[in-house]
Amino acid sequence: MSPLEVWARLNHARHNAAKERIHFLSSIECALLFAVDNGLIPAEYPQLEQVNVMIHAGYQEDRRKARPPSASRECSPITY
C-alpha cells in the first residue's frame, strides 16, 4: 500500500471517528504511529498535527464530561 493510500484510509477513519468521538481515536493514533514507524508517512506531516489536536480535544471533552459537577469550574465557590 502506498503512503497516499495509507493516508487516505487514515483520513477516512478519522472522519468516521469524528462521528463516533473518542471511541475510535486511539486506534487512529496507533495507526499513525505505526505508519510513521514503518516509514509509510513522514513524521513532519502537517495532518498528523491536526489529528493530534483533534485527539487532544476529544480527550479533554471526555474528561470534562466525566468530572463531577462539584469539580466543575462553572460552579460557584464554596462559601463558609
Q: Give the residue extent of every domain in the chain.
A: 3-66
The fraction of the chain above a pLDDT of 70, given in percent, is 60
Q: What is the pLDDT of residue 24?
A: 57
Q: What is the pLDDT of residue 20?
A: 63
pLDDT > 80? residue 6: no
pLDDT digits (tens, 9 = 90+) for 41-80: 887 877 777 777 776 777 777 777 766 655 555 555 555 4
pLDDT, average across residues 4-8: 78
pLDDT > 70? residue 40: yes
CB under 8 Å to 24, separation ≥6 — which residues? 13, 16, 17
